[in-house]
Structure 1
Amino acid sequence: MAVAVKVLNLQHRGASRSFLAECEALRSIRHRNLVKIITACASVDFQGNDFKALVYEFMVNGSLKEWLHPNLTTVVLQEAPRNLNFLQRLDIATNVACAVDYLHNHGQTPMVHCDLKPSNVLLDDELTGHVSDFGLARFLPEGTHNLSSNQTSSIGVRGTVGYVAPEYGMGSEVSTYGDVYSYGILLLETFTGKRPTDEMFNGDLDLHNFVKAAIPERVIEIVDPVLLLETEEGHTSMRSHNIRDCLISIFGIGVTCSSRSPSERMNMNDVTDQLHPIKNKLLQTPRRGERLP
């Protein structure tokens, strides 16, 4: 069988702690939208140096990041560009939401991922999303949404610039609300095609405010142009007003989840509850006599 092997560079600070955190996390979680670990290896190499590696099931379609932001080398090697259509993006966003909801609310012990981003969402042969990389994951005391006050993010939870919750930068406690923020940014990126670190964002303008200012009247103007091209060429039977309504709902979820104040963000089980009806609406067939977009 094909596998993916993650070899840790133990020269990097915190690598051993990351290895232990990932082993501990993956030992106690099982969900269809989480990458499955096959085995772990902690030994020495031929030079007598410590060696640590994790072996995962192989995800043939790479990461969500590679699909949203293909690099020049990837484009040149491919005969035709790989694009995700509207429904595929919505399915992947729902897959990730279900995985995070499981981590927060349905596992043996509540867990915070701490590094949600497109490069940590891997896609199988059916383009189903699987959350990966639990090197920063933290377990929470049962019945709580955050760590106790003596286990703050100053220990080393930083996440990734653009996706990390703003309160972490001020030393706030690790919490499920931090994952919700990262998910909100990921959702906005998935449908706008813009990274949160895009050079267009500076000063008070960030991805959150960029989308928030466009809701509801201008959502078509901020959507990933690839999706507009898809509808213009008639590759979908979705009605234009359906697409617009679905975008308003999707962007609304992303904006709420990425609010600066943790108390204003949604719970992940509410996110999943709202995403499923959007897909149903998206799949509604056109009425007789109605032109397709």
Structure 2
Amino acid sequence: MLSLLAPASGLALAVILGLASTAAAASDAEPQERQCIARGWQRVAMQAAGVPRKLLWKAPAGAWSKGAIVVLHGGGGRHFQWCTANSPLVAPQVRFSERAVAEGYAVFLLDSSDRVTDREGRICGKVWDDEVRERPNLDLPLIGQVLRELMPRLRPAGSRTEVFLTGLSSGGYMTVRAATHFDDLVTGFAPVSSGDPYGWHRVCEPGLSARKTVQGAGYDNETGKQIIERDACLADHHPNEQPWDSTRPATKPAFRVFHHEMDGINDRSCADKVSRLLRLHGYPGEADFVLRGGRRSLANHLWQDEYSGAVLAFFAGRMAR
């Protein structure tokens, strides 16, 4: 009996998706995942495109009155940093997730792989596979499987079916890539502290980053500047933009970009660029949510408590009346 999968089709889902049972999922869970499980989150282990993947999810009791949110963590981060705060730096993320569940959303916290490579085949570390490349994408199959197969089987009767995406930094780049790729399945999306996945690339040369879990750095395709530099993504023309994904639905999902003008990791020009290009590609957008003041810093790159209410209000406003 798969108590992880409360709907009656639990066994069928296990066969289709390769999900682990609750007991098995808990037995090989990391300590931080166990902390989340103790707080009411459930762990799912699955295969996507032949790669072992996992996620944590939590929903309100009964029907999902606001639909579901997929959350994509930042580069070097983990899914469990959105459900247990072992560092004050991630506490705003945890508050966002818990607030979303309290307001009626089911929340799915996906974990990136550590297999992404750059154009030279070098490992980039714990980041999302958001670039447009000739090789198969590592993360779109996972996200598609969650949207098309996992969510419908977990969704209780009477639930809203709207699906929303949000993500931070690398997860924000992947949010845009996934929302445009699956624009027939996504209702709305909110990238945070990020930019244009179709107009940047990584160089994962060891030593370019001081972080242990991420190798290399990101560069804008037009300016050639590292995204940490001022005006890194400021360009009038975009001849090096990669082709955008789209299923060409009758109505494209709406978006709202969130960032801090003093982001010291992803320059504000990169957020401005993706906001502008999304509109040019027919995605309706609300005015960017921009925090101001202070000095350029890493702290201003992180998820801020001020984002949480505005993200959830934006999603709530996208639901069909």
TM-score above 0.5:
no
TM-score using structure 2 length: 0.29
Larger Cα Rg: Structure 1 or Structure 2?
Answer: 1
TM-score normalized by the length of structure 1: 0.30
Higher relative helix content = 1
